[in-house]
Amino acid sequence: MFRIPRRQFLLGSSMLAASSGLGLSSAFAQQASLRLAFWGGQDRANRTYAVVDKFTEESGAEIDGEFIAWDDYWTRLATQVSGGAAPDILQMDYRYIVEYASRGAIAPLDDFIGNVLQLDDFDADQIAGGRVNGKLYGISLGSNSAAMIYNATVFEEVGIAPPDLTTTYDDYRVMGEAFASANLRNGIKVLSDSSGSDVMLENWLRQNGSALFTAEGMIGFDETALAEWFRLWADLRDAGVIVSAEDQALSTASAEASMIITNKAATTPIHSNELVVYQGISPDRLGLASYPLIGGGAGGHYRKPSQFFSVSGTSQNAEQAAAFISYFVNDPAAAKLLGVERGVPCTQTARDAVADELTPESRAALDFVASLGELVGPLPPSPPPAAGEVSKALGNISQEIAFGMRSPEEAAQAFVADAAAILARSSS
């Protein structure tokens, strides 16, 4: 975990008055202290803290920030919430927002709209993504889509074209044969093992006309479908198309430990906004493609909030926290600092502000979301409470298959039962 020092800025009332267009109240002249927590790497931290500094200059508010890797963020946040020490502003994910809202761990923001929280220029679908039972609990920090990131340099070395918006699972099998023949970079594979990715499973299910979760908060598939999914990946594993179980077990949610950065696989699933981070740490040229298609059917993509900022249900400075969030998503200067690292900005004002200052990888991430066309379908229902727990269970059981501890059919039967029990407990 990394922290920044507490900021100590005391500014005059004239500067506060100058920021009234952002909805910052003169009541903030009495300096308050806010705590901000988010997951991410150093690049995200640098961008975020630069915006924090600008907000401090204009409001006089003192903000402590801390960031931590995804894998540890939720454990730490759960501990803070249960101990009554939650940060005022916390980064929230689509798969967890219902759970945290249902527990009262985050606060509805509706009363601040039109006052300190300005959403007039905000994309309607991104506002809808932050609602739970009709109330607004999260402000989207950018829109993105699931994507496959590929190492274009490696594909050039192998001598074949990289994946694109038409690539199928069968195409990856053919690509895998080319990679095996080339035997480059200590046997790099064409594809990571994504059998335990709930996002990739959801995309495959949507292509098949089903869903990861139903609107009622239950799993949207049966044992037969899941066994087919697990068998797909088992066959790719047996054919040597994807990385070994041992290599995949070393991968974490951090870009640095991913299969593509460690040169184990030339393609792996991410979210489109993450291209900025991956390209920043890779010496090779990277690109984006859609998730694999099953065949000639419709795609399974959708445009989702990459993440939200939410306000703690116990914050004593909720109004000021909402004002900071409004500044973060609306202010043109903030937009220029943030770029598209968290996704495509959700207001036209912010998009206009970054349009002429995007790096090539930022432009590629923005263009990818715009290029998906008919592969994009409607946003699915908000995931139920405990969706995150179901996601972890999927990852665990997929590893059991990879290491030969369960067959795809046995794993499918066990997972469907376990997932149903998890969801039932969370709703009782």
Query: For residues 136 and 117, is the Cβ–Cβ distance under 8 A?
Result: no
Alpha-carbon dihedral 262, 268, 270, 275, rounded to 10 degrees: 60
Domain termination residue (choose one: 328, 351, 366):
366
- Do residues 266 and 312 share a domain? no
Mean pLDDT of the chain: 90
Q: Of 63, 64, 60, which is closest to residue 9 (Cα–Cα)?
A: 60
Beta 139-140 vs 308-311: how paired, if at all? Answer: antiparallel
Domain assignment of residue 129, given as a range: 2-144+305-366
DSSP for 36-88, please give it.
Answer: EEEE--HHHHHHHHHHHHHHHHHH--EEEEEEE-HHHHHHHHHHHHHTT---S
Could you list the mean pLDDT of each consecutive 10-residue stretch along the chain, which spans 428 residues? 32 30 44 88 93 93 90 92 95 92 96 96 92 96 95 98 96 97 97 96 96 93 97 97 96 88 97 92 96 85 94 96 97 95 92 89 90 90 88 96 97 96 85
Number of domains in the chain: 2
- Do residues 168 and 278 share a domain? yes
- Do residues 384 and 335 share a domain? no
Beta sheet of 2-3, edge-to-edge order = 2-3, 62-68, 33-39, 89-92, 308-311, 139-140
- Give residue-wise pLDDT tens across range 115-148: 999 999 999 989 999 999 999 999 999 999 999 9
Domain termination residue (choose one: 366, 392, 407):
366
Half-sphere exposure (Cβ direction) of 279: Cα atoms closer than 13 Å: 21
The CA distance from 299 to 278, in Å, is 25
CA 257 to chain centre: 17
- Do residues 206 and 285 share a domain? yes
The CA distance from 191 to 179, in Å, is 10
- Do residues 154 and 238 share a domain? yes
- Do residues 295 and 315 share a domain? no
Residue type, 303: R
Neighbours of 27 (CB within 10 A): 10
Burial class (CB in 10 A: 0-12, 13-18, 19+), 79: exposed
Domain termination residue (choose one: 366, 384, 419):
366
- Do residues 256 and 309 share a domain? no
- Do residues 137 and 237 share a domain? no
- Do residues 246 and 118 share a domain? no
- Do residues 114 and 187 share a domain? no
The CA distance from 188 to 186, in Å, is 6
Residue type, 4: I
CATH of the domain at 65: 3.40.190.10
State residue 17's pLDDT score.
30
- Do residues 345 and 218 share a domain? no
- Do residues 122 and 177 share a domain? no
